[in-house]
Amino acid sequence: MIKRIFDWLKQPLGLIAVGIAVLAVFSLAVYGLYTTQQAPAQPIQFPHQTHIAFGIQCLYCHPGAAKGPSAGIPSEAKCWGCHNQIQKTLDSQLPDTKVPLLKPLVASVQSQTPLQWVPVAIVPDFVQFNHRAHVAAGKNCEDCHGDMTRLTIAQNPQVMNMGWCLDCHVTTAGEDQVKLVKLTDCGTCHY
């Protein structure tokens, strides 16, 4: 029986079947990987690229990045500061609205319930990451977050794991041994 299956597998038709099976497994694996790299569902399909194209600075919406550990996500009040003057936003209230994207923003402001943004760029609690130190050292947002001018919903350009931090720290230190020890010391990131 087994031998007959092997013989069949060696026939052209059998080889095609094997090919299809291999392809199916491969595409499943690729699809699995693809889904883990997708941006999560957000309360609003917030278009980064649209806002950046209007010349709004990253630090206007994420001012914490220059001042302290976390960059912060803008509150509805900050969105409203601009959007209450944008006709489109008011139009989103009309029954036949052409801008459904802005509906959740108006609803959130009116009901005073914050939008529940899903974190994208995140490291575990036992890791000490501070934006300020990196921005002060001259690192740009895109060095770590990729080109947000082309994105709608934020996505990580890479996995933010220990290897990723250390890679850049080792490069940063270069020949400077003192800096290398400091930037790769466990206690620098875990304490």
Q: Is 186 in the site for ligand HEC (CB under 6 A)?
A: yes
Of 1-9, 12-20, 28-36, 133-141, the window that binds ligand HEC (rule: CB under 6 A) is 133-141
Distance, CA of 28 to CA of 96 (rounded, Å): 41
Q: Is 166 in the site for ligand HEC (CB under 6 A)?
A: yes
Instruction: Collect contacts of 166-173 with beta carbons under 8 A, ≥24 apart.
Output: 168/143, 172/137
Of residues 138 through 157, those in contact with ligand HEC by CB under 6 A are 139, 141, 143-145, 148-149, 153-154
Question: How far is CA 130 from its chain centroid?
Answer: 18
Q: Is 188 in the site for ligand HEC (CB under 6 A)?
A: yes
**CA-based R_g, the chain, Å:** 24
Q: Is 180 in the site for ligand HEC (CB under 6 A)?
A: no
Q: Is 121 in the site for ligand HEC (CB under 6 A)?
A: yes
- Pick from 62, 97, 107, 180 the residue near ligand HEC by CB under 6 A: 62
- Pick from 35, 137, 174, 175 the residue near ligand HEC by CB under 6 A: 137
Smallest CA-to-CA distance from 79 within 119, 118, 39, 47 is with 47
The minimum distance between CB 138 and ligand HEC, in angstroms, equals 7
The minimum distance between CB 3 and ligand HEC, in angstroms, equals 47
The minimum distance between CB 107 and ligand HEC, in angstroms, equals 11
- Pick from 8, 128, 170, 181 the residue near ligand HEC by CB under 6 A: 128
Which residue, 107 or 153, is less far from ligand HEC as judged by CB? Answer: 153
Q: What are the helix (H) ranges across 54-147?
A: 58-61, 64-67, 76-83, 87-91, 103-111, 131-136, 141-145
Of residues 13 through 42, those in contact with ligand HEC by CB under 6 A are 42
Of 8-16, 18-26, 27-35, 164-172, the window that binds ligand HEC (rule: CB under 6 A) is 164-172
Q: What are the helix (H) ranges across the chain?
A: 2-10, 12-36, 48-53, 58-61, 64-67, 76-83, 87-91, 103-111, 131-136, 141-145, 162-173, 177-184, 186-189
Smallest CA-to-CA distance from 140 within 129, 131, 150 is with 131
